[in-house]
Amino acid sequence: MPGTTARKQYRSRIVGAMAAVVGASLLLAACGSTKDTGSGSAGGGGTGKVGVILPLLTSPFWQSYNDYVPKMAKSEGVDALKTVNSNSDPSQQITDINNQLNQGVKGLVVAPLDSAAIEAGLDQAERKGVPVVAVDVAPDKGKVAMVVRADNVAYGTKACDYLGQHVTSGKVVQIMGDLASVNGRDRSQAFRSCVKTKYPKLKVLEIPAKWESDTAASQLGTLLNANPDIKGIYMQAGGVYLAPTLQTLKSKNLLKAAGQKGHIVIVSNDGIPQEFDAIRKGEIDATVSQPADAYAKYGMYYIKAAMEGKTFKPGPTDHDSTIVKLPSGILEDQLPAPLVTKDNVDDPKLWGNTVK
């Protein structure tokens, strides 16, 4: 957890962003709605422009999602503006939402950085009557038409089962995401609980890396110095953690190919091409393919439906997923996310095999 000073600085940034939102809202009330000056990047469906806000672009996963957005917008008949990158800054993301609303967008597709902080932006969108679809991360509170997301509890459980079946006993490392995000919490808690219940001979060591590659590398290096007998690693985001993890293991002469003596079993999350190449080389053993293509497709599908006034209920869908109601009351379409190993890594249906 961050120290008191860091927490105060973080709250100050969020409060500042919210103040900017309120100030802009009052200005709009006095001057009238801002005219939409944005130019769409995809053929429109006649229901207004849609803003698309990314959490970051330093990960190959989000780079791939970003590439899919205009293609899926066009195929779904959505007039999407050029994507906006919040650059891993939750307060900037609130500002980005406000800027898009001031451009007169009629819908928003947002990948929240912080499950709690995003509420300020969602409230502003609700006040303006603009529907929002959340992608990848569910908000803790606030109104969204749908969350498009895979079951992140299943990510942690699948990683646990793979490691538990290939490492009979000993130390395993969990390189966690940001616990301010429900994704980081779900994956971490699921992995931890699964190991405790099903594989009690494993000892879990944890690295709170906050989706930061430098943090992951430095803490893994320190941990390996004290625990050179580590037998397994679970990386919660291959797009961020793959390269630094492999580099750190290599620097310590611990990067052994699968089948070799001393190989450390590694399971990841994302399903990016780089992970698939690492599986083929035997550098890592498995990953859970987080569907970047489906995130973009169904983000556009649901925002178009929401702009047309359509609503949904829990239950199975026509695209091999299930809509569930979260404890917050928000609906989430839980898309399939298969485990990828050397046995199916070349499957042409996997999105990671369709991008360069």
Six token digits for residue 67: 């590439």
Decide if 127 is inside a domain: no
Asked whether residue 269 is domain-assigned, the answer is yes
Is position 48 within any domain? no
Neighbours of 12 (CB within 10 A): 11
Tens of pLDDT along 289-306?
Answer: 999 999 999 999 999 999
- Residue 18 inside a domain? The answer is no
**If you average pLDDT over residues 158-183, what whole number do you get?**
96
What is the token pair recorded at 24? 């802009």
Each residue of 94-133: pLDDT tens digit?
A: 999 999 999 999 999 999 999 999 999 999 999 999 999 9
Residues 188, 151: contact at Cβ < 8 Å? no
CA distance 76 to 148: 15
CA Rg value for the chain: 21
DSSP 8-state assignment for residue 211: T
Q: How far apart (Å, rounded) are the C-alpha atoms in residues 39 and 148? A: 25
- Structural contact between residues 93 and 122, judged by C-beta atoms closer than 8 angstroms: no
**Predicted pLDDT of residue 230:** 98
Task: Give the closest residue to 58 by CA, choosing from 233, 188, 239.
Answer: 239
Decide if 318 is inside a domain: no
Residue where the block lists tokens 């809509």: 323
Q: The tokens of 305 are what?
A: 């439906």
Q: Where are the beta strands (DSSP E) in the chain?
A: 49-54, 79-80, 84-85, 107-110, 132-135, 146-150, 170-176, 202-208, 232-235, 265-270, 286-289, 315-316, 322-325, 331-335, 339-340
Residue 45 has what pLDDT? 43
- CATH classification of the domain holding 167: 3.40.50.2300
Number of domains in the chain: 1
Weakest-pLDDT range from 22-31, 79-88, 151-160, 260-269: 22-31
Q: Give domain status of residue 310, yes or no.
A: no
Question: Residue 270's pLDDT is what?
Answer: 96
With cut-offs at 50, 70 and 90, classify the pLDDT of residue 8.
Answer: very low
Cα dihedral 337, 172, 170, 279, rounded to 10, equals 50
Q: Which pLDDT score, from 0 to 100, does residue 355 have?
A: 85
Q: What pLDDT shows up at residue 32?
A: 32
Q: Decide if 312 is inside a domain.
A: no
What pLDDT sits at residue 47? Answer: 75
Is 196 contained in some domain? yes
DSSP secondary structure letters along 248-287: HHHHTT----TTSTTPPEEEEEE--HHHHHHHHHTS--EE
Domain that holds residue 345: 152-215+229-239+264-289+341-353
SS3 320: coil
Q: What is the pLDDT of residues 272-286, one digit of tens each?
A: 999 999 999 999 999
The bridge status of strand 170-176 relative to strand 202-208 is: parallel
Tell me the C-alpha distance between 65 and 83, whole Å: 11
